[in-house]
Amino acid sequence: MVKQQRLAAVEASPRGFGKHTNKQVQEVEGYFSTLVEECAVVIEEHRGHRLVYEFLNYPIAVFSLLLPLPRSSLLCSPSLASISGTSAATMENVAVFDSPGKGRGLKATKEFWAGDVIFSEASLSAVVFDSLAERVCHSCFRAQEKLQKCGQCKFAHYCDRTCQRAGWAEHKQECGAIKSCGKAPNENIRLVARILWRMDKEGSVVSDMQLTTLEELEDHISDMQEEEMQEFKVDIHNFLDYWPRNSKQHRIDDISHIFGVINCNGFTVSDQRGLQAVGVGLFPNLCLVNHNCWPNCTVILNHGKIELRSLGKIAEGEELMVSYVNYLNLSEERRRLLKTQYFFDCTCEHCKDHIKDDLKLGGREVDGVKPPAEQVKEATEYCFSRLEKMDNARLNGDYHEVVKICRDCIEKTEPVLADTHIYLLRMWSTLSEVQAYLQNFAEAADYARKMVEGYLKIYNPNNAALGMAAMRAGVNHWQAGEIEVGHSMVCKAYAILMVTHGPTHPITKDLEAMRMQTEMELRMFKQNEYVYHSMREAALKNKPMTMMNEPRSVEEGIKNLFHRRK
Ligand SMILES: [Zn+2]
Ligand SMILES: [Zn+2]
Ligand SMILES: [Zn+2]
């Protein structure tokens, strides 16, 4: 009965929502002007977070020699585990409805509080990116050093026999098709084929949890531009070569529709920590969640499933929304991104009233006096011009040049620009990241703190990017031996990630371990500051520095909420 009602509601819906086009990413003006892709809140702002992980081994290894943690404490505590069990997430929590001006949307059928899982959903199908086909398991999506090849097609890679067996149902037909083609087609073609094989076997609604059929999702083919259309046609042509004669044959329109759907609704699948995008998948229910620049939900991939999590109190009947773009962008920029990539005009309060735009480009107020507008404009322009140089130096791996550019720019513009100015925030963020890489931890910590303080005034208090930034700042302070600030930042990050990622997410678990470690060190510091520092120094001296990998965050750029073809 319930299912029938849902289906009736689904049928009444005029459109899904569009995502992005697959044409070349245009030069984006504004905050993320020189990045390859613009950021979405959900996959977080990754610049630097991977670096934190590379460096983490260092202080943790050093200090765990001094203060070995009981093994069990590294696991999620039972009290935390029970929090995640509070909402047995099912699709009963949501209903499809007609959202005024937006087409279909999802609304809450009961009240939610911060950190509640509203629903979780496994992908209908997912594939590993072409570029990582030999480095990521095709079944569990973990990045691994040593993977085993499928003996048949030599294309699919797995951790072990268990993963291979688990992935066989999805791979079986693909395996035969790759073998007879002689090589694997690109990720889009592989994904469409997997989806079609699955639908041929199970029908277009593969579980009664699925609130929409794929036919009903928007493909935005008619919105595509010429260049994009060409690529699209090439994919379809190659698909037809790949699709086996003995599989069910489909109409070309139906095939194009699925290509269009994954093009605008394909969701980026990340590794277990969510720090590296490794593939793309389709999550049909998630496709029904509309955008708001100041959303009430966030979506996170946790143990292979996406979770829609509540960021605060949500009333029964309220529409559930996530943000497709980073809130750090000015309202005008967000609207432009949403229009070009997701084909709609954002009418949210924050865009309409340009909320916080003044903070993002503002001047520094000293004793209630703001600098003249002309001076702020000049400093803004100067800072903007330096960002490109900074990014280039970073891409070239010239980190000392990055430090020089950042320091110079900060010295000139910091006295004029507000501590929430988005260009200044980018300077601080990059400088702290690069200094951490160069092991100048004290300066890294200072600028990371400024970055977090700026973010706090801009972002929703439960924003995932804010939480990740606080984690980075916490680690930087810890590395710099500033254990008090370090511990408080780690706690702050932990509190945010408990909401945005939940207690069972691997990053939250890492933070839990860090929180206990820093707490112990803080206690030691408070008992005897001198002993703390001398032990720390002794440990640092005895621990040989290992070679660190080059930061990869730049080349990877910031990932979209929804996968965008390059
Ligand atoms: Zn695996
Ligand atoms: Zn195979
Ligand atoms: Zn908006």
Q: Round the average pLDDT of the chain to a whole number and report it.
A: 80
pLDDT of residue 53: 55
Q: Which ligand neighbours the alpha carbon of 175 most closely?
A: 2
At residue 64 the predicted structure's pLDDT band, cuts being 50, 70 and 90, is: very low
Please report, for the chain, the start and end positions of each structural domain, with discontinuous segments joined by +: 129-277
* DSSP code string of 271-284: -TTSSSEEEEEE-T
At residue 268 the predicted structure's pLDDT band, cuts being 50, 70 and 90, is: confident
Q: Which ligand neighbours the alpha carbon of 351 most closely?
A: 3
Interval between CA 266 and ligand 1 midpoint (Å)? 22
Closest CA to 440 of 412, 413, 406, 468: 406
Q: Which ligand neighbours the alpha carbon of 295 most closely?
A: 3
**158 vs 35, 147, 150, 163, 169, CA distance in Å?**
32, 5, 8, 6, 14
Q: Which ligand neighbours the alpha carbon of 354 most closely?
A: 3
pLDDT of residue 381: 96
Q: Calculate the CA 369 to chain-centre distance.
A: 39
Q: What sign does the CA torsion over 95, 97, 99, 101 have?
A: positive
Which structure tokens are listed for 147? 């993977």
pLDDT of residue 24: 26
Helices 399-413 & 373-395, crossing angle to 10 degrees?
A: 170
pLDDT digits (tens, 9 = 90+) for 418-435: 999 999 999 999 999 899
Q: Which ligand neighbours the alpha carbon of 352 most closely?
A: 3
pLDDT of residue 531: 79
Q: Which ligand neighbours the alpha carbon of 326 most closely?
A: 3
The better pLDDT of the pair 332, 397 is held by 332
Q: Which ligand neighbours the alpha carbon of 345 most closely?
A: 3
3-state secondary structure 302-365: ECCEEEEEECCCECCCCECEECCCCCCCCHHHHHHHHHHHHCCCCCCHHHHCCCCHHHHCCECC
User: Does the pLDDT value for residue 337 go beyond 90?
Assistant: no
Q: How many residues does the chain have?
A: 566
| HSE-up (13 A, CA, CB side) for residue 466 | 22
Give the lowest-confidence range in 6-10, 51-55, 211-215.
6-10
* DSSP code string of 422-449: HHHHHHHHHHHHHHHHTT-HHHHHHHHH
User: Does the pLDDT value for residue 46 go beyond 50?
Assistant: no
Which structure tokens are listed for 154? 């030599």
At residue 52 the predicted structure's pLDDT band, cuts being 50, 70 and 90, is: low
pLDDT of residue 49: 52
User: Does the pLDDT value for residue 88 go beyond 50?
Assistant: no
Closest CA to 215 of 251, 172, 240: 251
At residue 223 the predicted structure's pLDDT band, cuts being 50, 70 and 90, is: confident
pLDDT of residue 7: 26
pTM: 0.80
User: Does the pLDDT value for residue 162 go beyond 90?
Assistant: yes
Interval between CA 161 and ligand 1 midpoint (Å)? 9
Interval between CA 168 and ligand 2 midpoint (Å)? 8
Average pLDDT over residues 482-488: 93
pLDDT of residue 208: 75
At residue 102 the predicted structure's pLDDT band, cuts being 50, 70 and 90, is: confident
Interval between CA 351 and ligand 3 midpoint (Å)? 4
What is the rounded distance in angstroms from the CA atom of residue 214 to the CA atom of residue 564?
A: 19
Interval between CA 228 and ligand 1 midpoint (Å)? 34
Interval between CA 133 and ligand 1 midpoint (Å)? 12
At residue 343 the predicted structure's pLDDT band, cuts being 50, 70 and 90, is: confident
Q: Which ligand neighbours the alpha carbon of 144 most closely?
A: 1
Closest CA to 475 of 435, 524, 427: 435
Interval between CA 131 and ligand 1 midpoint (Å)? 17
Q: Which ligand neighbours the alpha carbon of 165 most closely?
A: 1
At residue 63 the predicted structure's pLDDT band, cuts being 50, 70 and 90, is: very low
Q: Which ligand neighbours the alpha carbon of 148 most closely?
A: 1
What is the rounded distance in angstroms from the CA atom of residue 100 to the CA atom of residue 460?
A: 24
Interval between CA 346 and ligand 3 midpoint (Å)? 5
Please state, as a whole number, how many other Cβ atoms lie within 10 Å of the Cβ of residue 74.
13
pLDDT of residue 474: 93
* DSSP code string of 213-278: -GGGS---GGG--HHHHHHHHHHHHHHHHHS-TTSPP--HHHHHHHHHHHHHH-EEEE-TTSSSEE
User: Does the pLDDT value for residue 163 go beyond 90?
Assistant: yes
Do residues 139 and 169 make contact, with C-beta atoms less than 8 angstroms apart?
A: no
pLDDT of residue 18: 29
Interval between CA 158 and ligand 1 midpoint (Å)? 5
At residue 224 the predicted structure's pLDDT band, cuts being 50, 70 and 90, is: confident
Interval between CA 132 and ligand 2 midpoint (Å)? 16
Q: Calculate the CA 249 to chain-centre distance.
A: 36
Give the lowest-confidence range in 5-9, 46-50, 57-61.
5-9
pLDDT digits (tens, 9 = 90+) for 282-320: 999 999 999 999 999 999 988 888 999 999 999 999 999
Interval between CA 199 and ligand 3 midpoint (Å)? 35
User: Does the pLDDT value for residue 195 go beyond 90?
Assistant: yes
User: Does the pLDDT value for residue 37 go beyond 80?
Assistant: no
pLDDT digits (tens, 9 = 90+) for 111-152: 999 999 999 999 999 999 999 999 999 999 988 889 999 999
